[in-house]
Amino acid sequence: MVTGAAGQLGQALQASVPQGIELIALTRQGLDLADTKACTSLVRELKPDWVLNAGAYTAVDKAESEPELAQAVNAGAPAAFAEALAQTGGRLLQVSTDFVFAGNQGSPYRPDQPVQPLGVYGASKAAGEQAALALPGGQVLRTSWVYGPVGKNFCLTMLRLHALKAAAGEPLGVVADQVGCPTATTTLAAACWRAIGVGKTPSEPGPEQPRILHHSDAGAASWYDFALAIGELGVTSGLLERAAQVTPISTAAYPTPAQRPAYSLLDCTLSRAALGLKPIHWRAALAQVLASLG
């Protein structure tokens, strides 16, 4: 059972579902994640072997003014899934975020490090992690800076702004002092399916793997680096006639309601080994995503 099926990760999961898996793909219309009773009753009814919770409240800034809704979706839903799965014998893979960390240590975060979220969104996702891990068959897969060929994401927004700013002869200002790693939905979906395939199912034991996994593409970038690469590769792939001039700006120059971690790179070394995944550099993954849009 996959939640958030209409979202960018949900669509990537459906496009890459392995053979032999019976997929129940649920959109917001099929299941409101803010409705914990509905989450519990649906799992009890369907009795899935796995719930892959890819749905989430992801409006980081809006969460500051809607903390109850963010908490209901990001923490209440996984808690409801875990409660029901404890009765039906299924397992839970909870997709989480680098925003559970404060971003103040200047080195990649390991899966076993304590969380310290800065805002409502990160706090709600951290609570969702704890709910998932309270289930004996619960796992967490953290990722960062997700984008893909569909949905609302930084990559598609920057393609549009590059075209507009280049046509107007105006610079495109992008924050340069927040560092993380862009992650394509294609590689993230592969990691999710691998996590389910490698781990134990209720009826068939398999090799042990960490209960908290980290997955991002390889390398590091600021939002400025990412925007610059989107422009360069957008021209190369024929999606843009020309790229706008990208100007680095500071976080302080672009204030937002939610505070964001300045350095939220995830250490994926142990997780890649456990899942048997080879890293792909974020620029290479970006080139593949842009090529799919041509």
Is 121 catalytic? The answer is: yes
Concatenating the DSSP letter of every residue in 233-259 gives HHHHTTS-SSPPPEEEE-GGGS--SS-
Check residue 106 and report its DSSP letter: S
Question: Rounded to an integer, what distance in angstroms lies between the CA atom of residue 292 and that of residue 147?
Answer: 13
Tell the residue number behind the tokens 């507009």, with chain if given. Answer: 164
Residue 109's Cβ-count burial label (10 Å; 0-12, 13-18, 19+) is buried
Question: Rounded to an integer, what distance in angstroms lies between the CA atom of residue 113 and that of residue 201?
Answer: 27
Structure tokens at 286: 């970006």
Active-site residue (options: 57, 121, 147, 224) = 121
Question: Could you tell me if 33 and 39 are in contact, meaning their C-beta atoms sit under 8 angstroms apart?
Answer: yes
Structure tokens at 237: 């792939």
Structure tokens at 95: 């997709």
Structure tokens at 167: 């046509």
Question: Rounded to an integer, what distance in angstroms lies between the CA atom of residue 93 and that of residue 70?
Answer: 19
Short-list 225, 207, 281, CA closest to 289? 281
Active-site residue set: 121
